[in-house]
Amino acid sequence: MLFTSNHAEAFQIPSGKSALTASPEKYYNEALAEKDAGDLPAASLALRRALVLDPTLAVAQQELQKVLSKMELPMESSWQQKLASRYAPEKITFVGTVIGWSTTVALIVIFFLQILPSTKKPKRWRLFFLVLFFCLVGHAISVLGVIIDPRLHARYEVVLLPKPDSKAALEHQPDRPATTPLRATPADAASVLAQLPTGSCLILLSQHGVWSYVRTATGQEGWIASGSLEFLIPKN
């Protein structure tokens, strides 16, 4: 079943020469097509892209969990992802900004009208510190909304997606290698540190031509062929 919504325009996230220019529903529908074609790793990539744009898209969350389970890969779960999946980061940032700046204005007014004047009237310090507290809380909430936004980290994330076998591709049955070697140095003859499962999400630390230096979810670092990687935010 295709997924549609009332989004009038697609999101666009600038990142140097990279951008994610599509709606989350478009990537979700693309994932369903890839899944039907038997290409689970490509389906996982499309679902991850949908969740970058809308981390609260429940159907994409559920489908990604199913796809990763079939590939025997763990579902990444951090406190940022859990919070973003329940509350839209943009809304958190907006609410925090409204609270923070409205109380900032109130704080300035209270300071100049109640605290600064040298009169015999009692200073309203309790009110001042109460407003100051909400001011700090509001700005903290807005910062939290930025921190949990998956778009902040997605530009450094890549999915291991080696090219499918040419013979299988001719038969319209995508058959990608099950694993790709993580090497100690950027050379084909370098020692293999680990075999990374196709569909794994990695952190790109640096890229040098045909080789990329990455970090796995477990913290292991090494070199992998750049052609085996797909950016979570696709390049133009």
20 has a pLDDT exceeding 70? no
**Burial of residue 192 (number of CB atoms within 10 Å: 0-12, 13-18, 19+):** exposed
- Residue 37 is classified by DSSP as T
Assess if residue 190 is contained within a domain.
yes
Average pLDDT (32-55) is 94
- Same domain as 97, residue 214: no
Task: Check whether residue 70 and residue 180 sit in a common domain.
Answer: yes
Q: Are residues 35 and 59 in the same domain?
A: yes
Q: Which of 147, 167, 192 is the endpoint of a domain?
A: 147
Amino acid at 6: N
Residues 182, 71 share a domain: yes
β-pair partners for 212: 207, 224
**Domain identity same for 119 and 213:** no
Q: Which residue range(s) make up the domain with 60?
A: 14-76+156-231
For the entire predicted model, the pTM comes to: 0.79
31 assigned to some structural domain: yes
pLDDT more than 70, % of the chain: 85
- Model pLDDT, residue 114: 80
Rounded to whole angstroms, how far apart are CA atoms 32 and 215?
29
Picking from 97, 112, 147, the residue at the C-terminal end of a domain is 147
Q: Count how many Cα atoms sit within 13 Å of the Cα of residue 14 in the half-sphere of its side chain.
A: 1
Q: pLDDT: is 8 or 143 the higher one? A: 143
* Domain membership flag for residue 27: yes
Give the integer Cα–Cα distance in Å for 226 and 229.
Answer: 6
Comparing 79-93, 144-158, 164-178, the range with the smallest average pLDDT is 164-178
For 103-153, the pLDDT digits (tens) are: 999 999 998 888 777 666 777 888 999 999 999 999 999 999 999 999 888
Give the Cα separation of 94 and 87 in Å (integer). 12
Q: How many domains does the chain have?
A: 2
For residue 31, the domain's CATH number is 2.30.30.40
Same domain, 174 and 59: yes
What is the C-alpha to C-alpha distance for residues 96 and 75, in angstroms, rounded to an integer? 30
Inter-residue contact 124 to 114 (CB < 8 Å):
yes
In the predicted model, what is the mean pLDDT of residues 30-45?
A: 94
122 lies in a domain? yes
Q: Contact at 8 Å (CB) between 185 and 225?
A: no
Does residue 9 carry a pLDDT above 50? no
Q: How far apart are CA 168 and CA 32, in angstroms?
A: 20
Close Cβ partners of 199 (under 8 Å, ≥ 6 residues apart): 40, 41, 44, 45, 68, 71, 73, 159, 160, 161
Do residues 68 and 168 both lie within one domain? yes
C-alpha distances (whole Å) from 10 to each of 26, 89, 107, 139 are: 9, 17, 39, 29
The answer on pLDDT for 56 being more than 60 is: yes
Residue 82 lies inside a defined structural domain of this protein: no
pLDDT tens digits, one per residue of 183-227: 999 999 999 999 999 999 999 999 999 999 999 989 999 999 999
Answer with the one of 128, 147, 166 that is the final residue of a domain.
Answer: 147
Asked if 172 and 123 sit in the same domain, the reply is no
